[in-house]
């Protein structure tokens, strides 16, 4: 790839990454809002619905997004247009069939999903996820045509309209009902809070689908059944990989209502506090997510360089150091983060350090996974994901009845730790890289020890507790800044530049 090609790739990666990360951040801000408005059991229902959405969207796209890129690349414009419309036709047909089946068997399916008392919301969810599945192909078309700005704008519209509708239904409408109830009485029901969260998601998806109409009809519509069969043969194995990956991340929330020993209402309450506090830790996930967007093109760009393995090793070291700083920062301010949540949701706040460590292992695993991408052994990614899924499944089934949501926390932690270790050992066999294990382990262990000291010693005073934790965090981060980063060199360069200008 030429230098200009790499620059173009980096620019587009930045745009795609920014839109995704900004979207995740704004959605993260909705968690404190929900925790102050809905009950823990109602938020448990929200968690159930969105966990099912995460799984169903994988099934309804069945790898065809990647299949579209595969079969549209290196073809004539007419051929790539045919791939695009064939893919849309296939996804549209299966999405409509999905909605039809949910409509016919809504009571049975809702009951099977442990959401029998929310059948209407299950139906709205089905329509929403069908829209999102279909919309994924026009979004893929924009990426294929290298139109990242329009892609980013549409993605941000989804997020912003979702937030606006949530604010309208959950904050504005209750106030209007108190002052001018006649304006909203014809449509607003104050007890329908969970419903308005789901409806907000539906409306934002539907609005963006309308905005995608120019992209949907940008080419002449054709359908090639022989092409579709080839695409399905390529894409269905990707569906299996996608299901294994998403199940490893969501199986705890999917299983929880089925295996928790209490009532369904109690299970939803436990799931609600667990999910709210789990999402507080998503700041770490946003960092690893941003890293993923930048790192994959980076490793392929450096593939042919003689010192590429040294670069990969250094990247891992600095990545882990950054993880430890973010980890300690969030632990230092854990009581501040707790205040973001409603009082009923705060009981699970001390799962946050464990979730942060889990996200760290997940990020390290992704960093280590470069070996099977560079050596075309991607099947190992599927095997490792399946091992992780099996561990998560077994531990949840065995421990949730005894430990409630703490079982979910420990299962995820152990699963990703095991995946990380397996990936490292296999990587050393097939694509050995001399990572600076000593420094990585020292930083990780020291950060864990410091976090324990931060949390074990308490003064039962908010400001004293915060001061105690900062007393550990500030020297640690200062040491990293001075010892690991070329701070002095950068300052001298800046001063020399200003002196000559």
Q: What's the pLDDT score for residue 1?
A: 43
Contact (CB, 8 A) for 198 and 124 = yes
**12-60 tens-digit pLDDT:** 556 666 767 777 788 888 999 999 999 999 999 999 999 999 999 999 9
At 221-261, the pLDDT tens digits run 888 899 999 989 888 887 887 888 888 888 999 999 999 99
Between the CA atoms of 165, 169, 170 and 174, what dihedral angle is there, to the nearest 10 degrees?
A: 150
* Rounded-to-integer distance, Cα 420 and Cα 439, Å: 17
Q: Give the largest Cα separation in the chain, rounded.
A: 75
Q: Within 10 A of 417 (CB to CB), how many other CB atoms are there?
A: 19
CA nearest neighbour of 37 among 268, 194, 269, 271 = 194
**Distance separating the N- and C-terminal Cα atoms of the chain:** 36
pTM: 0.85
State pLDDT tens for residues 404-436.
999 999 999 999 999 999 999 999 998 898 999
Q: Digits of tens for pLDDT over the chain (501 positions)?
A: 444 444 554 555 566 667 677 777 888 889 999 999 999 999 999 999 999 999 999 999 988 888 888 888 777 888 888 999 999 999 999 999 999 999 999 999 999 999 999 999 999 999 999 999 999 999 988 888 878 888 889 988 999 999 999 999 999 999 999 899 888 888 899 889 999 999 999 999 999 999 999 999 988 888 889 999 998 988 888 788 788 888 888 899 999 999 999 899 999 999 999 999 988 888 888 777 777 666 665 665 566 667 678 888 888 888 899 899 999 999 999 999 999 999 999 999 999 999 999 999 998 998 888 888 777 777 788 889 889 999 999 999 999 999 999 999 999 999 999 999 999 999 999 889 899 999 999 999 999 999 999 999 999 899 999 999 999 999 999 998 888 765 555 555 655 655 555
Cα 231 from Cα 63, distance rounded (Å)? 9
């Amino acid at each position: 790839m030429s230098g200009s090609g790499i620059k173009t790739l980096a620019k587009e990666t930045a745009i795609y990454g920014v839109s995704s990360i900004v979207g995740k951040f704004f959605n993260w801000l909705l968690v404190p809002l929900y925790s102050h408005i809905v009950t823990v059991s109602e938020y448990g229902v929200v968690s159930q619905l969105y966990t099912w959405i995460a799984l169903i969207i994988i099934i309804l796209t069945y790898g065809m997004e990647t299949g579209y890129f595969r079969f549209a690349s290196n073809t004539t414009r007419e051929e790539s247009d045919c791939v695009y419309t064939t893919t849309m036709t296939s996804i549209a047909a299966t999405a409509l069939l999905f909605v039809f089946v949910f409509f016919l068997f809504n009571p049975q399916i809702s009951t099977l999903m442990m959401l029998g008392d929310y059948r209407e919301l299950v139906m709205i969810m089905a329509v929403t996820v069908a829209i999102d599945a279909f919309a994924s192909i026009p979004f893929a078309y924009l990426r294929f045509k290298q139109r990242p700005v329009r892609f980013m704008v549409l993605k941000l519209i989804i997020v912003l309209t979702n937030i606006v509708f949530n604010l309208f239904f959950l904050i504005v409408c209750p106030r209007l009902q108190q002052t001018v109830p006649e304006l909203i009485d014809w449509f607003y029901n104050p007890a329908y809070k969970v419903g308005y969260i789901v409806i907000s998601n539906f409306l934002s998806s539907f609005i963006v689908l309308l905005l995608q109409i120019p992209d949907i009809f940008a080419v002449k519509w054709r359908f090639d059944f022989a092409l579709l069969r080839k695409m399905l043969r390529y894409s269905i194995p990707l569906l299996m990989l996608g299901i294994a990956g998403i199940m490893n991340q969501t199986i705890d929330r999917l299983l929880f209502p089925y295996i928790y020993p209490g009532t369904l209402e109690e299970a939803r309450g436990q799931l609600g506090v667990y999910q709210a506090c789990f999402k507080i830790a998503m700041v770490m996930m946003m960092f690893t997510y941003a890293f993923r967007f930048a790192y994959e093109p980076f490793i392929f760009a450096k593939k042919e360089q003689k010192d590429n393995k040294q670069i990969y090793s250094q990247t891992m070291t600095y990545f882990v150091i950054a993880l430890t700083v973010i980890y300690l920062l969030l632990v230092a301010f854990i009581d501040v983060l707790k205040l973001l949540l409603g009082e009923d949701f705060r009981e699970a706040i001390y799962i946050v350090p464990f979730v942060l460590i889990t996200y760290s292992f997940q990020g390290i695993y992704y960093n280590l996974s470069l070996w099977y991408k560079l050596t075309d052994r991607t099947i190992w990614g599927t095997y490792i994901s399946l091992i992780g899924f099996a561990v998560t499944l077994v531990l949840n089934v065995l421990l949730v009845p005894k430990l409630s949501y703490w079982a979910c926390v420990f299962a995820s932690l152990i699963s990703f730790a095991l995946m990380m270790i397996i990936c490292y050992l296999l990587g050393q066999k097939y694509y050995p890289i001399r990572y600076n294990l000593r420094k990585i382990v020292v930083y990780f262990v020291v950060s864990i020890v410091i976090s324990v000291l931060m949390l074990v010693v308490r003064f039962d005073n908010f400001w004293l507790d915060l001061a105690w934790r900062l007393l550990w965090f500030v020297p640690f981060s200062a040491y990293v800044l001075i010892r690991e980063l070329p701070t002095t060199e950068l300052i001298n360069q800046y001063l020399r530049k200003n002196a000559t200008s």
